[in-house]
Amino acid sequence: MSNPFREDLVSRSRAEACSVVIFGATGDLTHRKLVPALYNLAVDGELPHGVKIIGFARREKSDDVFRSGLEELNQKVSRTGHDPALWNEYKENVYYHQSEFHDIDGYKRLAERLDAIDESRGGAGNRLFYIASAPEFFDVILENLKAVGLNNSAEGCWARVIVEKPFGTDLATAQHLNSVVNNTFEEKDTYRIDHYLGKETAQNIMVLRFANSIFEPLWNRKYIEQIQITCAENLGMEGGRGGYYDKAGALRDMVQNHLLQLLSLVAMEPPTDLSADGVRDEKVKVIRSLRQLNTPELIKQNVVRAQYTAGHIDANKVPGYREEDRVDPESMTEAYVALRMHVDTWRWSGVPFYLRVGKRLPKKATEISIHFKSPPSVLFNAIPGAASGGNVLVIRIQPDEGISLRVMSKLPGTTLRMEPVKMDFHYATSFGKGSPEAYERLLLDAMAGDATLFARRDEVEEAWRYVDHIERAWHDSDHTPEMAEFVAGSWGPKEADDLLEQDGNSWRRL
């Protein structure tokens, strides 16, 4: 019998040297994530020899000034620490290119600069374009790349593009952006990034499910009672983020991409192989199988949206959402959302999926918890501790990546008493080193031509189609419930607790 996880698909393609052009190079993402990720890859010996980094932005800067700013922040945020000698070698491959995003001459000069870099390496080379600018510039950057021919590659080479989130603000804008992208780059060369999929534990979900016989037979409605996905943030609108967030909200900012991606990995069927399309085919089937929440009545029954009021985080007083910088004082944008969802497939019929995401919660944490059904209570019904619930498998995405399993155990002693205990696995302690940053893995995959951890066009559009139904039911109806409230530093509104209590469930304590 042949193994569906064939060796030729498991052995990873090698990352190839290329010129990485980052649009929006003076932004926070470049300084805090992208350049440190490439530096960490160099430290670990993973970065292909000959990679060049060109930052493209509007501000006037020299190469040296750009490098100096990158080094200053790398010293603070690099996962591997900061080695001045290695940085001095690394920075010689970092350049700055000044141009307005709308200026076609800037792209012509970029093409000449890339040609000169390739020539210095002995001929034509590969190009990886990373669009990390504000979303309103995505179209013009792509169109100008095409106008000067930078979307084309020489024979034996490649040209690819990574597009940051948000990939559209609704289905119509996502479809438009997809049209622009695919009119510039082929789908196989287009990488829509979601950094949650680069996290080690997210990558491990398929291995946990399909490579372990203790879980694979149980991963269905017969044995699983409910599944919860929580993404909690203790921050609010620091750093001027309120202007963007108040136009997006928790549903569009987090549920449409990050949480639906995690849900699809948990609920997908086993793929025929580990190719990018093999995996993504199964993920998109899950999103298409989501029961639509497209009427005010369904919204009332299954969705809670809320804003936080003034409170305390770690003993520090914080303002309410409507008091935050750049937030409309009369805003009706949700900073918290909880949903009860159903995947209408044979495997998951009747199993509720509970999702919640919010700002100003007590701690920063993202986790998936699988709640298995309790065994019959006829044996241990009268024993203290027996009513503590069934087994729970917790997949921690951040910050402490790992997996834990709650099982029932007898307490030591002469009497029969039961208590839940936790079997815990931490990546850092089990393997003796911290997990690579998500962007490290994703950048390396793009250089290798592996799109498995990137969203495909139909995935993005199906996710937006689902979210758009909820948005329209919220905003186009006078019958949806009012915005709930909760005190900053608490775990959300009472209405979110009530949502689970209707089913006899409760949110897992993080």
Residue of 195, 258, 371, 469 with catalytic role: 258
Q: What is the pLDDT of residue 200?
A: 82
Please tell me the predicted confidence (pLDDT) of residue 412. Answer: 79
Q: CA geometry: angle at 203 spanning 200 and 207, to 5°?
A: 115
Q: At what angle do helices 260-267 and 457-475 cross, to 10 degrees?
A: 120
Burial of 248 (0-12, 13-18, 19+ CB in 10 A): middle
Is 240 exposed, middle or buried (CB count within 10 Å of its CB: 0-12, 13-18, 19+)?
exposed
338: β partners: 304, 356
Domains of the chain are: 7-192 (3.40.50.720), 197-501 (3.30.360.10)
**Per-residue model confidence (pLDDT) at position 433:** 62
Q: What is the pLDDT of residue 274?
A: 86
pLDDT of the residue at 190: 96
**What's the pLDDT at 434?**
62
Annotation says 258 is catalytic: yes
Distance of CA 262 to the CA centre of its chain: 8
What pTM was estimated for this model as a whole?
0.91
- Position 411 scores a pLDDT of 73
Alpha-carbon span 439 to 164, nearest angstrom: 11
- pLDDT score recorded for residue 388: 60
In the sheet where 392-398 sits, what is the strand order? 418-426, 402-410, 392-398, 365-372, 224-232, 352-358, 336-342, 303-309, 484-487
pLDDT in tens, the chain (510 residues): 344 444 444 445 789 999 999 999 999 999 999 999 999 999 999 999 999 999 999 999 999 999 999 999 999 999 889 999 999 999 999 999 999 999 999 999 999 999 999 988 777 789 999 999 989 999 999 999 999 999 999 889 999 999 998 899 999 999 999 999 999 999 999 999 988 888 888 888 999 999 999 999 999 999 999 999 999 999 999 878 898 899 999 999 999 999 999 999 999 999 998 889 999 999 999 999 999 998 888 999 999 999 999 999 999 999 999 999 999 999 999 999 999 999 999 999 999 999 999 999 999 999 999 999 987 766 666 666 555 667 999 999 988 888 999 887 777 777 777 777 788 888 767 666 667 888 999 999 999 999 999 999 999 999 999 999 999 988 776 666 689 999 999 999 999 999 999 999 999 988
